[in-house]
Structure 1
Amino acid sequence: MRKITAFAGLGLAAALVLTGCSAPADEPAEEPTAEMEMDEETAAVDTVNSDGAGLRATVQGLLYDHVYLAAAAIDQALADGGDLTTEDVQAAVATLDENSVEVAAAIGSVYPDAEQPFLDSWRSHIPFFVNYTVGKATGDQAAVDQAVSDLGGYAVSFGELINSVVPELPAEAVQGELEMHATSLLAAIDANIAGDPAYFGLLKEAASHMSMTALALSGGIAANAGIE
C-alpha cells in the first residue's frame, strides 16, 4: 500500500497598502469644497468589511476547506485500504461534516428556514465521491458510473433547491458550478489513485473553482436579501 501524505491545512493571507499624496510645500493648501467633502464621504464607505463582502469571504473560505477536507478524508480512506471504519477515516469524515454544518450555517445566517434543507442536501453528495473512489480503486466500473450519475443528479437538484430560495440564482447556473466542482475533484481523485504527482496541482485547481461558486452564491444571496 503506497504511503500518502494527507493535507494538514491551508492558510491564506492578504494585505492592503494605502498610499497618499500631498501638495508641494510651495503651493497653498486647497480649501475643502462640497465636492471634496462628498468624495471623502464616499471613500469612507467600508466595502472591504461590508456584510456582502463578509458573506462572500466566509462562503469562499468554507468551500475551499470543503475541497481539501474531502480530499483528506478520501486520501485517508485510500491509505487505510478502503476501510471506512478506521479511527483515522472516521475523524477525517467528522471534520468534513463539521465543515458542511458551517457552510449551512452561513446560508442560514441569511435564510434560517433554509439552513437544515441546505445541510441535508449538501451532506448527501459527499458519499457519491466516496463511492466513486472505492469503485475506481477496486476496478468496479459500474460503481464508478453510478457515482458519476449520482453526482450529476445532485447538481440538478441542488440547483433547484438554491433557486427556490434565491430566485436571482438560475438553477442551471448553480448546476453548472456543482458540475465543475465534481469534474475537477474527480480528476484529482483519479490522479491520487494512480499515484500521479499531478494530483496536487489538480487538487489546487479544484479548490480554486470554489471562488467562482462562492461568488455566485454570495452574489445572488446579497442581491436577494438586499445586503451591501
Structure 2
Amino acid sequence: MDEAFREFSHMSVHNVVSWTAIISGFVQDNDIFSSLKLFKDMRQIGQEINSYTLTSVLSACAKPGMIDLAVQIHSLILKLGFYLYLNVGAALINMYAKMGEVELSELAFNEMENKKDQGTWAAILSSFAQWSGFVTEASVGCSLFTIYSKCGNLEESYKVFLQVPVKDNVSWTSMISGLAEHGYAEQALQLFRDMIIKKFSPIMWS
C-alpha cells in the first residue's frame, strides 16, 4: 500500500476511480484511519463519489465503537440519494450487523425501495442470524449460505459456512455445489477433499 499511495500521490489528475481504488486498498489492508482520512479529503475538495466509494467506506466503519461516524455516513447516503443503490443498501445492512446494531440494520433495509433483490434479503437475514445464534443451526446456516451462493456472493457464503459448527452432508454438498457452479472449481475440489477427510459422504443430486 505504501507503493500504491506513492503512485497515487504522483498522479497529476485524480478521478473517482483512482480515489476509490486507493481507499479500497487501505480498507483491505485494515488501515481504517488512512481510508477514512482519504474519504474526508475527497469530500473536502468536492471530488465526485460513487456507490463503490461508499461501500468501501462502509466496510471501513464496520467496527464496534464507530457508530457515530457510521450514522454520519448513513446520513450522507440519504442526502445524496445513494440509498437507492442495492450495493450501498446491502453494505449499510452488513455494516450495522457487524457492529451489533441489528435495529439499524433493519432500518437500512426498510429504507431500500427494491426489496425483491435476493442479495438484499441475504444481507438482512445474515444480520439477524449473526446476533440470534441461528447460524449455528445446521439447517438455518445451510439455507443462509445457499442464499448467498445463489446471489453470486461466494465470499459471504463461505463465511457463513465456516460459522456452522456441525456441518452435515447437505451443508458440505451445498457449499461445494455453489463453488463449482460459479467457476471456483479448484476451491470446490479442495472442499470436497476436506469433506472426505472428515468422513462425510457426498450426496449425489439427481
Question: What TM-score comes out, normalization by structure 1 length?
Answer: 0.30
Q: Please give the TM-score of this superposition, normalised by the length of structure 2.
A: 0.33
Larger radius of gyration: 1
